[in-house]
Amino acid sequence: MSKNALPTSKPDLFLKFLSLIVPVLALAGAISCGGGSSNRPGGGGGGGGGGADCKLPLPVNSSPSAQGGVGKQVPSTFMDLHVGSSNLVSTVTVPYGGLRLWDTATGWAQINTASGVYDWSNLDGFVSALPPGHDLLYNLARTPAWISKNPSDTTCSYSTSAEGGPGQCQPPSDLNSDGTGTDAAWIKWVSAVASRYKGQIKYYEIWNEWNAKVFWVGTPAQLVRMEQDARCVVDGPPAGSSCNPGSTFPSGTAIDPGAKIVSPSPVGAAGSMLSSVKDNLNTYFGTSVSGHAGGEFADIIGFHGYVSTGKSGTCPVPEDVVTVIDDMNSAITSAPGETGKPWFNTEDGWSKAAEEGFLDQDRESAFMARYELLQWSMGVDRGYWYRWDSTVGYQGALWTNSTGPIQAVSTWDEVSKWMVGATLSTACTVKGTVWQCGFTRSGGYAALAVWDSSQDCLKTNCPTTAFTPPAGGYTLYRDLTGKENSISGSVLIGAKPVLLETSKLP
């Protein structure tokens, strides 16, 4: 997600976003539902607020085609976060692997306020606040006014002076629409960041939700060139490739070869727009600059996997992420050189909770658990939840300064216990409306996560159906509170997953 042109009002940005895309899903941007303003309206975390509760749409009953998580052990870096301010990093109580910096007053326009002028204070704060053993993903986006092609463009997000001013969705003025030009301002910017934070920032993401016009009105070719130049600056060109012949690198190349480049992340959501991630990746991968296609200079493929409905009164369904990722996988497998790269869902969460009426904490807990299980099963390597706090009033917040953590925080803890260190033995599949995902651990431990997507869980009323465990020696089941119970015959399953186990969780 990202930020609205109005500092804290996500609903307004979403409306602006709709007005931009309704006519046609245009090439460079018609599909923003994530990012600063588009996918996250104001309101803070779940479990409160006015308005009627949303209704569940029909359950998704198609098993995923993508099964990239099978046979892989879940690392402690799988579940990651956004935190809005460096002084709130210490409030995080859930286990996580890293932070993505977005909506953190660390944008290009906020740091590089004039040519050669930098204010590193906020970014320094995050680097200092990050606990040992965690890493940072930094998004390089948001063109400063001094190099913006249209520095007075107030249709861009973040147009207030406090947020960097107008024109941030515009391309740099030294970069032509076909990807030619010097790209000198971008090269200098990336060089400055990589030099200052060598060994401290692990991932550099090229742009945020470039298929939403509030974040990018340039061309795919311009982003491809920016990807090429950033890769050359940070860790050098890929083996067998050369840097763009039109680029010069005054500070040198491969400044921080231990860091990696994440491709610019498209976003999809809001019903029929679930396929927009695939469509825009196809466009990006199919765009070449100086003989090199989009994505060729990226180490990692980025996307935003929101599944919000965009409809008041209609709940988001976590299983809709199957559509997003299966479609994305089809784009990746058809693009030469992209298969085998890690996938980072650099923004995830339930998103527009207040707009849709998705504020019940039981529902949110069910959503989180199912979403994370499915992501790993399908091959997502890292997912960055938007977000821990409600500093700027966005949805998805797990904690507020006034009320503390919501129920989904304990769900995060529990699902992390289920997954981290376990190996996915069988992909998540569905029969009827019952989903199952298999895990194993050393010592003969086996487990099966099970839920019924046709069930709801609202205001502590969580209907269940009887489920007969398959053969496999399951003797216990564990719920999202961490309580373990003996299995005698069938197990009651509902919207919230339970974990069937052959022995106690190690």
In the chain, where are the structural domains located? 10-43+72-421, 425-501
What are phi and psi for residue 28, nearest 5 degrees?
-85, 10
Mean of pLDDT over the chain: 90
Q: What is the pLDDT of residues 202-257, one digit of tens each?
A: 999 999 999 999 999 999 999 999 999 999 999 999 999 999 999 999 999 999 99
**Which of 294, 326, 310, 267 is CA-nearest to residue 30?**
267
pLDDT greater than 80 at residue 421 = yes
Q: What is the pLDDT of residue 465?
A: 97
pLDDT greater than 50 at residue 154 = yes
Q: What is the pLDDT of residue 270?
A: 56
Q: How many beta carbons lie within 10 A of that of residue 384, not counting itself?
A: 26
pLDDT greater than 50 at residue 30 = no
Q: What is the pLDDT of residues 356-369, one digit of tens each?
A: 899 999 999 999 99
- Summarize the confidence of residues 83-106 as an average pLDDT: 98
Q: What is the pLDDT of residue 311?
A: 86
Lowest mean pLDDT among 41-50, 410-419, 465-474: 41-50
Q: What is the pLDDT of residue 391?
A: 62
**Two structure tokens written together for 168:** 């941030």
**Two structure tokens written together for 233:** 């600056």
For the chain, percent of residues with pLDDT exceeding 90? 82
* CATH 3.20.20.80, applies to 10-43+72-421: yes
Residue recorded with tokens 């920016």: 226
Q: What is the pLDDT of residue 162?
A: 92
Residue recorded with tokens 């988001």: 316
> Quick check: helix, strand or coil at residue 371?
helix
Q: What is the pLDDT of residue 197?
A: 99
Q: What is the pLDDT of residue 161?
A: 95
Q: What is the pLDDT of residue 100?
A: 99
> Quick check: helix, strand or coil at residue 306?
coil
Strand-pair category, 484-486 with 476-478: antiparallel
Element (H, E) at 184: helix 184-196
For the chain, percent of residues with pLDDT exceeding 70? 88
- Summarize the confidence of residues 409-422 as an average pLDDT: 99
Instruction: Name 483's Cβ contacts closer than 8 Å, sequence gap at least 6.
Output: none
- Summarize the confidence of residues 147-168 as an average pLDDT: 98
Q: What is the pLDDT of residue 41?
A: 28
pLDDT band at 9 (very low <50, low <70, confident <90, very high): very low
pLDDT greater than 60 at residue 94 = yes
pLDDT band at 355 (very low <50, low <70, confident <90, very high): confident
pLDDT greater than 60 at residue 48 = no
Centroid of chain to Cα 173: 29
Alpha carbon of 286 to those of 153, 175, 335, 465: distances in Å?
Answer: 29, 19, 8, 47
pLDDT greater than 70 at residue 327 = yes
Lowest mean pLDDT among 31-40, 102-111, 233-242, 244-253: 31-40
Q: What is the pLDDT of residue 287?
A: 98
Q: What is the pLDDT of residue 394?
A: 52
Lowest mean pLDDT among 390-394, 439-443, 449-453: 390-394
- Classified by CATH at the fold level, domain 425-501 comes out as Immunoglobulin-like (2.60.40)
pLDDT band at 158 (very low <50, low <70, confident <90, very high): very high
- Summarize the confidence of residues 69-87 as an average pLDDT: 98
Asked if 5 and 37 count as a contact pair (C-beta separation under 8 A), the reply is yes
Query: Whole-model pTM?
Result: 0.91
- Summarize the confidence of residues 472-485 as an average pLDDT: 98
